[in-house]
Structure 1
Amino acid sequence: MSAILSADDLNDFISPGVACIKPIETLPAKKPEDNSNPYEVTTEDQVTASEPPPPAQISLTDCLACSGCVTSAEAVLVSLQSHTEVLTTLDTYPSLPPPVAAHNGTNGVTNGPGPYLTETSNGVNVHHEIKEGKLFVASVSPQVRASLAATLSVTEAEAGNMIAQLLSGPSGLKAGGTHGSHFTWVIDTNTVREACLVAGADEVMTALTPETAHAPSTSGSEGALDTTPKQPILTSACPGWICYAEKTHPYVLPHLSRLKSPQALTGTLIKSVLSQRYNIPPSQIWHLAIMPCFDKKLEASRSELTSDAWLPTDYDTPSQDPVRDVDCVITARELLHLAAARNITISSLPRVSLPASQRIPFPDPKLDRFLFPSSRRKNHDTVAGPSGGYLYHILKTYQAQHPGSSISVTKGRNADVVEYGLIQDSRPIIKMARYYGFRNIQNLVRRLKPSKISRMPGAKAGVSRRPGVAAGSGTDGPKEYAYVEVMACPGGCTNGGGQIKVTEVEEVRAAEGLSRRSGEVGASRPGQQKEWLGRVDEAYFSAEEEDGDSEMNGTDSGPSNESSGGEDVVNGIDRAYIRNVISHWADITGVDKQKLLYTSYRKVESDVGKKKQSDVERVAGLASSIGGGW
């Protein structure tokens, strides 16, 4: 989370608990001068008057590996993931034209459809580079489109079309730069989110079955890929929340959903399929994600979300280093900077989709129809919230299995805490909740902390030493919930730290050559950010499904979703069809579905900046731990 989220009554962020120790670790050793006297006594004032050290270089990877801070305030650490990196990469590498077809060569060599030569030697596929360049792919979140739509006074669909025109159109990035490089495909993350929702509901229903819920867990397996989360299951799509949990509250790791976020799942799908279909290594595929949150940069930097998790063992590439599923993340504001750096005004770009005649099909017909349907995916209803609708889809899935049941919605202590229940014949079937904002998250994790059993002589068994919890009361707050949708930003993902803020709207509109709107939210009135967030939410929830036509950036070679025609349709999502697409993805890549869909989490412990134990202290500690001493 970043302090940029602080605005009026939405001021909800956590300050770093400990000063960052990275600069201390990177201080260079002071070299003595040649004319120095080795016997001279150096006074304290001479030391303090010495040259200040150069600024430390801190990367996002450093922040993920360090447990010193209790927050992910890495908004200042985006030098490796910014619009500048996007432009630099486009200017360094020409766009690889997607190949059309493959043909077999001779002598065991296959001239693959891509810019690489694939040779089979002793059963191992070795890929030799014969041309420089990268295949550029971008994915865009609906929250970014909503932020741009509210700023430019256009619809959410028009904002999406303008972004696609910027990234792929003839008057966008393609018109400039060293090579005229551009993005071959621009994917709406709403399509992949449907796979996340279906897989997430299946994960919850499996985890809550009696035989699974009471299965013993192996010590040290908390957060592992092959483990099942415990009740209450907590959403894992928010990287700010995940970073906070891993660094400060590792006892919640067994409760985290193992499901990848739409950003991560899109990256895995893109690189696994394109590298397999085009016979190119993942390093030649460059994936840009445009997200509402700075913390998504952290997610892209995770070592768990790389090609190591899904690349087949018999795949030998020129570089053995793991390749990130998402190479770069920029936010809505950085998208504006990207356009401005190329002297492009987004408001002047066409508001219609790229013509179908200019669209290059994705190299698998079934996945092409899934990623680029003939009709736009609609954002969820208001009741589902602005953060993807995970809880709502799971709740609707349970409701579909209990005909005649109804959903109850109860507001909590503030607008960012909402409780949901599925009720049938006045009997509660399942309870869920939504917790947004770090203030509410702190209350949630505090109540999930395991109770300490009193060791006082004569104390009753099961009595908690933790204040505020009555032992044996039968109710333990969040532990009653089956599922909790947790998001770090107050107000949800539409209020992400990288979204366009109300104080920037007038400047953006002036730069775009747009006049001030009537009734525009003033930048100096109290509560203006909250009003502005309401406008962004309105743009997000007003997005409607649109039928495809000849101008849509979709395929007209078949139906948008190949509906199974069954009854397993929840909130407009055909769950059987989504499962079929996931199975097809696993089949064509030869990778197990678990490796494609799920990831792992770990407790972050670091001794960086801490005093190292001497051998004497280490032996003394070991002796005392086994009952010995000096």
Structure 2
Amino acid sequence: MSAILSADDLNDFISPGVACIKPIETLPAQPEKALNDYEVTTEDQVAASAPPPPAQISLTDCLACSGCVTSAEAVLVTLQSHTEVLSTLDTYRSLRAPWGSQNGASNGVNGQHAEGKLFVASVSPQTRASLAAVFSVSEAEAGNMVAQLLSGDAGLKTGGAHGSDFTWVIDTNSTREACLVAAADEVANGLAPEALKKPSDPGSEGAIDTTPKKPILTSACPGWICYAEKTHPYVLPYISRLKSPQALTGTLVKSVLSRRYNVAPSQIWHVAIMPCFDKKLEASRSELTSSVWLDSPDASQDPVRDVDCVITARELLHMATIRGINFSSLPRTPVPAVQRTPFPDPQIDAFLFPPSRRKNQEAAAGSSGGYLYHILQTYQAQNPGSSISVARGRNADVMEYSVVNGSEIIIKAARYYGFRNIQNLVRALKPPKVSRLPGARTGVSRRPPGRGPAAGSDVKEYAYVEVMACPGGCTNGGGQVKVSEVEDVRIAEGIVSLNGEAIPSRPGPKEQKEWLGRVDEAYFSGEEDEVVDADGMRDGRAEGEGDVVNGISRRYIGEVVSHWSSVTGVDVKNLLYTSYREVESNVGKKQNDVERVVALSSTQGGGW
């Protein structure tokens, strides 16, 4: 893992785990004995076995352990860093379409030794905003610089063993639109009468085919999801089943490319450039692999992750430095269109690479994708004459929203950012403790009044709660460039000063807050280019009256998702949604010798 990640970078810290359940014990090696050779000995005469090999702790192990409740788990990532990106590019050559041979031999597919890979990258708008603030450029220009690094003539292809680069660089705002529409649909289904909902079986909380309970809690933040699964499983029935834009992009890229190009998912390598280290946790989830959408997976091969690697803005800059590339000198214009390889499906290509650039959500929507605000706008569009009211809670990271029409409240929702506020949220959702005393009242909450974002509010009154682990939202992710690093980055790039701006030598919390303001300004300042076709349709998208919410056509998104499902032969449910599960741990639990041996033998494929 990159040395740039340390505990000081983590702003969603709760408490470290006191133990790790990753076993380093092994069953004793069986001594070689001659036939009919039996020996009786006492326990203290048994020779000490060879020391066990060093424990290799991966992120998957951390996801299966409830001993830690902090994004410090990302420190244990060994195969998700900028060095892994460069290593993979140096190991495999970039595959390009059209293929030289239908059987794939000339392109190294179908198990050929010197196989190549289709390299795909997806970039979040928060990452672009962080880089824009560092180099005093617009968010669009920062995005162009990233694309030039990944696939331009002056980028990564200038070095490495094979000159490999990324064939496609995708803006996650495209798939985010699908997520926003799906989130609004999920809330509408969640508010439907109970008689219309599918009953859930006991123990199926968090299953992909169940409807979340009210209030529906955002699922796009992996730090929050990991925290809920490990420490508060009673909130799993409330969590949205919707995939994040990162996960949805990974599923779309690998499922479509593998079908259209007839290549194995393992030959498609997808890196996501995200604002926080917790996104590495998300990419390591077993639920987000090819086993979900591949109709006939090879039993002899392990499932392939939809997102192979996640790096952050800081790691992206380190990657450029290692290759000897001055990031600030990269062209700020898009990669020439003549160099672009069309995605192998025209409708998906138009969706991922629209002719007009999509801007981020407006400032009122926040810097975390605008899930909550899009849902509010959807209900506002469905109720002409209504308005959105906002009430601040106990701090700036707790807000309450309502769509009102006169004195009628149509829908209530809230925003909870930062783990301190999330802890209050999960306490409010905790089931009342049932007394064991005979004749005692049950189901009585002793929670003091006024604990919600506004005095007298009850969390369960909300239809939706946008939950993010980082205070201030995703632009404040742990992988973003901090104000204390700006000067070093600029010096490394040969930049003396930008517009006379001076960064304090020892910036403190005040300077960091001001810096986040600059990142947010870059995030919200992007302009949207409008391209209207001959029929008067924006970007060729089918739009109907009342169909468009904040520039996003629900009908168009529905057509794209339906086409995606038909191309891959996968049900829409498995493409858009995922599942969550309670993570149990034996940390702190005592085991007798029999239980310990059974556990060890089962890990070795044995048993009684």
Per the TM superposition, whether the score is higher than 0.5 is yes
Q: Which residue of 2 aligns with 1:468?
A: 448
- Residue 98 of structure 2 is matched in structure 1 by 99
In structure 1, the residue matched to 2:548 is 569
Does structure 1 residue 19 correspond to structure 2 residue 2? no
Give the letter for the 2:552 counterpart.
I
- Of 271, 295, 303, the residue aligned with 1:288 is 271
Matched ranges for 1:175-186 at <5 A: 175-186=158-169
Change in 2 beyond 3 A, CA 1:128/1:15: closer
Match of 1:601 in 2: 580
Which range moves more in the overlay, 378-387 or 606-615? 606-615
Name the CA distance, whole Å, in 2 between partners of 1:616 and 1:141.
46
- 1:425-458, Cα deviation, whole Å (9 max, x unpaired): 2111110000000000000001100012333333
**Residue 208 (structure 1) shift:** 1.0
Q: Distance in 2 between matches of 1:408 and 1:469?
A: 22
Q: 2:369 aligns with which of 384, 388, 392?
A: 388
Tell me if structure 2 keeps the 8 A contact 1:447–1:476: no
**Counterpart position of 1:75:** 74
Q: 1:591 aligns with which of 570, 573, 576?
A: 570
Q: Which letter maps to 2:462? A: Y
Aligned 1:175-254 pairs, distance under 5 A: 175-211=158-194, 216-254=199-237
Aligned AA (2:417): Y
- Deviation per CA, 1:3-39, whole angstroms, max 9, x where unpaired? 4456xxxx652121423344x73699899xxxxxx99
Match of 1:430 in 2: 411
Q: Report how far residue 73 of structure 1 moved.
A: 1.4
Contact 2:121 / 2:273 at 8 angstroms: preserved in 1?
A: yes
User: For residue 492 of structure 1, what is the amino acid of its counterpart?
Assistant: G
RMSD over aligned Cα, in angstroms?
3.2
TM-superposed CA distance for 1:68, in Å, is 1.3
Once residues 112 and 214 of structure 2 are traced to their aligned partners in structure 1, the CA distance between those partners, rounded to angstroms, is 49
In 1: Cα distance, 2:478 partner to 2:27 partner: 34
Aligned counterpart for 1:269 among listed residues 236, 248, 252:
252
Matched residue of 2:380: which SS?
A: helix
CA contact (8 A) 1:411 1:419 kept: yes
- How far did residue 565 of structure 1 move? 3.8
C-alpha distance after superposition, 1:493-515 (max 9, x if no partner): 00000000010000000111112
Q: Number of residues paired by the alignment? A: 571
Alpha-carbon deviation of 1:52? 11
Give the corresponding residue for 1:406. Answer: 387
Q: Whole-Å Cα distance in 1 between the matches of residues 310 and 595 of structure 2?
A: 47
Match status 1:581 vs 2:580 = no
Which residue among 149, 154, 168 is the counterpart of 2:151?
Answer: 168
Unmatched segments (≥5 aa) in structure 1: 32-37, 103-109, 118-126, 550-557, 618-630
Distance 1:28 1:371 in 2: 51
Take 1:131 and 1:485, find their aligned partners in 2: how far apart are those partners? Answer: 46
- Counterpart for residue 620 of structure 1: none
Return the letter of the residue paired with 1:385: G
In structure 1, what residue type is equivalent to 2:502?
E
TM-score with structure 2 setting the length:
0.87
1:353 aligned counterpart, secondary structure: coil
Q: How does 1:24-43 map to 2 (within 5 A)?
A: 25=24
Equivalent in the alignment of 2:342 = 361
Offset at residue 128 of structure 1 (A): 5.7
Q: Provide the C-alpha distance between the structure 1 equivalents of 2:310 and 2:263, rounded to a whole number of angstroms.
A: 23
Give the distance between the partners of 1:307 and 1:215, measured in 2 at CA: 27
**Residue 602 of structure 2: aligned partner:** none
1:540-565, Cα deviation, whole Å (9 max, x unpaired) = 0001113579xxxxxxxx96352334
Give the letter aligned to residue 196 of structure 1. C
Q: Distance in 2 between matches of 1:101 and 1:199?
A: 39
How far the C-alpha of 1:567 sits from its partner, in A, is 2.5
CA distance in 1, matches of 2:53, 2:524: 48
Structure-to-structure mapping, 1:518-533, within 5 angstroms: 518-522=500-504, 523-533=506-516
Name 1:374's counterpart in structure 2: 355
Offset at 1:150? 0.2
Paired with 1:182 and 1:574, the residues of 2 have a C-alpha distance of 33
What's the CA shift for 1:460? 3.5
Given that residues 149 and 155 in structure 1 are in contact (C-alpha distance below 8 angstroms), is that contact kept between their aligned partners in structure 2? yes
Q: Of residues 502, 506, 524 in structure 1, which corresponds to 2:483?
A: 502
Report if aligned partners of 1:74, 1:294 keep a CA contact under 8 Å in 2: no
Q: For the residues of structure 2 that align with 1:543 and 1:174, how far apart are their CA atoms?
A: 29
Amino acid at match of 2:67: G
- Distance in structure 2 (CA, Å) of the matches to 1:453 and 1:610: 25
Amino acid at match of 2:68: C
SS in 2 for 1:196: helix
Match of 1:331 in 2: 312
| Equivalent position SS for 2:164 | coil
Taking the aligned partners of 2:493 and 2:235, their CA distance within structure 1 comes to 46
- Per the alignment, residue 286 of structure 2 pairs with 303
Deviation, 1:612, is: 2.4
Partner AA of 2:156 in structure 1: L
Distance 2:593 2:336 in 1: 69
By how many angstroms is 1:80 displaced? 1.1
Unaligned runs of 5+ residues in structure 2 are: 31-40, 451-455, 597-608
- 8 Å CA contact 2:180, 2:374 repeated in 1: yes
The residue number in structure 1 matching 2:87 is 88
CA contact (8 A) 1:5 1:12 kept: no
